[in-house]
């Protein structure tokens, strides 16, 4: 949870300026996506295409839909993604 709304806005602005952002799913997220038939693992990045703010309780959410061909969009909490180490953010 982020307590300072100004920090949230600043981070989201930075993220939006760098879209799409390569991010690796946590093991828990990868398992959940696989249960939904999505072929994903923790060693291949997803790409964050949009960011959303779900309030103080929900935090920052990211559209991390794995491929353009995907029939469903996946919006997940930023806490379930690891930004690629070489990325500017």
Between 79 and 72, the more confident residue is 79
38, part of any domain: yes
For residue 19, tell me if it sits in a domain.
yes
**How far out from the chain centre does Cα 52 lie?**
10
Counting the structural domains of the chain, the total is: 1
Among 81, 79, 16, residue whose Cα is nearest residue 44: 81
pTM to 2 decimals?
0.84
Q: What value does the mean pLDDT take over residues 37-47?
A: 89
Task: For residues 43-64, give the mean pLDDT.
Answer: 91
88 within domain boundaries: no
Residue 89 falls inside a structural domain: no
- Are the beta carbons of 16 and 51 closer than 8 angstroms? yes
Per-residue pLDDT, 57: 85
3-class secondary-structure state, position 59: coil
Cβ 23 vs Cβ 83: under 8 Å = yes
The stretches of the chain forming alpha helices (DSSP H) are 5-17, 27-35, 55-58
């Amino acid at each position: 949870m982020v307590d300072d709304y100004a920090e949230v806005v600043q981070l989201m602005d930075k993220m939006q300026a760098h879209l799409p952002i390569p991010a690796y799913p946590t093991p828990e997220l990868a398992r959940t996506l696989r249960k939904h038939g999505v072929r994903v693992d923790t060693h291949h990045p997803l790409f964050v295409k949009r960011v959303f703010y779900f309030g103080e309780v929900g935090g920052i959410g990211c559209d991390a839909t794995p491929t353009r061909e995907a029939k469903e969009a996946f919006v997940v909490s930023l806490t379930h993604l690891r930004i690629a180490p070489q990325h500017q953010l």
